[in-house]
Amino acid sequence: MTRLLPTSTAGSLPKPSWLAEPEVLWSPWKLEGEALVAGKQDALRVSLQEQQHAGIDIVSDGEQSRQHFVTTFIEHLNGVDFEKRETVKIRDRYEASVPSVVGPVSRQKPVFVEDAKFLRSQTDQPIKWALPGPMTMVDTLFDGHYKSREKLAWEFAKILNEEAKELEAAGVDIIQFDEPAFNVFFDEVNEWGIATLERAIEGLKCETAIHICYGYGIKANTDWKNTLGSEWRQYEKAFPKLQQSNIDIVSLECHNSHVPMELIELIRGKKVMVGAIDVASNTIETPEEVAETLRKALQFVDADKLYPCTNCGMAPLSREVARGKLQALSAGAAIVRKELEAQR
Ligand SMILES: [Zn+2]
């Protein structure tokens, strides 16, 4: 990126009400067959246009073609039985009925590549595409085959690498892996989480990012966050090793979270997507609030490596609120960009 402080979102944006029930996660599609295919493309067009209208620099599909950030990818894999469900504890936090791994996992065909090509055909701006990370995939399934979280993660990493290479060939500029599990399983992160992530990005020439957040949209996440106290230092566990990794960009949450800003120092040298928009609140940030978060982050990240972003996806918000937040992000970044340019 040549522009200073290029803005982007963590990923998802609200879907139009004709495509899926708004303001809920896991919302079922309202269309079927050909109409659904066309509907998802139309929603992507709208989502892109809203990002462009707000002045977002690095755009995405707003995750209009997926129901869930992990499960939609897994649905396309061999070796996972969606009928055979087991109850497991997700993120060591809440019980959920999940599909089972019943045999060797593999990718039947590209999952998001056609969608990425479509987005590429709609804009010349840099585009970012999100995939789930290996550890978060493992943590969203019951494994009745490998019986080892690490083994399964390595298998998923191989599959993700195949998908990522095709996304790169489709013209994606930044491939992002969502790893909320990195905020929970610290030993595993350092033993094999970051290693499997590096396997997933092996051989890529495009930029790569990891998004780590505290989870949104469900009560279990909110309840968990209430137990974390006034200082959230979870990032401290993964950052030193991430700093040493081949990942280019780290996306994290800042505004209104209890993460001490100085933890960013631990990933010095990486580009940082700083969450300056709270996705758990309907209150639209003022541009000045966004600017203040970015100024604080600038103490720990060089200006040319600071990427203003949202804390997480905005799928559960109303479209109106999401639009307001996109504009605030853009306007806040513009304030600080101006300040930086005046100093040069
Ligand atoms: Zn997130």
Residue 142 lies in a domain: no
Q: Which domain holds residue 37?
A: 33-66+111-133+148-343
Instruction: Kindly report the CATH number assigned to the domain that includes residue 209.
Output: 3.20.20.210
pTM for the whole thing?
0.97
User: What is the whole-number distance in angstroms between the Cα of residue 278 and the centre of ligand 1?
Assistant: 11
Residue 128 lies in a domain: yes
Whole-number Å distance between alpha carbons of 60 and 323 = 14
User: What is the whole-number distance in angstroms between the Cα of residue 211 and the centre of ligand 1?
Assistant: 6
Structural domain count, the chain? 1
User: What is the whole-number distance in angstroms between the Cα of residue 310 and the centre of ligand 1?
Assistant: 9
User: What is the whole-number distance in angstroms between the Cα of residue 331 and the centre of ligand 1?
Assistant: 22
Place of tokens 């402080």: 5
Residue 25 lies in a domain: no
Residue 12 lies in a domain: no
Residue 11 lies in a domain: no
User: What is the whole-number distance in angstroms between the Cα of residue 34 and the centre of ligand 1?
Assistant: 31
Residue 3 lies in a domain: no
User: What is the whole-number distance in angstroms between the Cα of residue 46 and the centre of ligand 1?
Assistant: 22
Residue 140 lies in a domain: no
Per-residue pLDDT, 119: 98
User: What is the whole-number distance in angstroms between the Cα of residue 40 and the centre of ligand 1?
Assistant: 22
- Each residue's pLDDT expressed in tens, for the chain with a length of 344 residues: 678 999 999 999 999 999 998 888 778 999 999 999 999 999 999 999 999 999 999 999 999 999 988 999 999 999 999 999 999 999 888 899 999 999 999 999 999 999 999 999 999 999 999 999 999 999 999 999 999 999 999 999 999 999 999 999 999 999 999 999 999 999 999 999 999 999 999 999 999 999 999 988 788 888 898 899 889 999 999 999 999 999 999 999 999 989 999 999 999 999 999 999 999 999 999 999 999 999 999 999 999 999 999 999 999 999 999 999 999 999 999 999 999 999 87
Residue 81 lies in a domain: no
Q: What is the 3-state secondary structure (H, E, C) of the chain?
A: CCCCCCCCCCCCCCCCCCCECCCCCCCCECCCHHHHHHHHHHHHHHHHHHHHHHCCCCECCCCCCCCCCCHHHHCCEEEEEEEEEEEEEECCCEEEEEEEEEEEEEECCCCCHHHHHHHHHHCCCCEEEEEECHHHHHCCCEECCCCCHHHHHHHHHHHHHHHHHHHHHCCCCEEEEECHHHHCCHHHHHHHHHHHHHHHCCCCCCEEEEEECCCCCCHHHHHHHHCCCCCCCCHHHHHHHHHCCCCCEEEEECCCCCCCHHHHHHHCCCEEEEECCCCCCCCCCCHHHHHHHHHHHCCCCCHHHEEEECCCCCCCCCHHHHHHHHHHHHHHHHHHHHHHHHHC
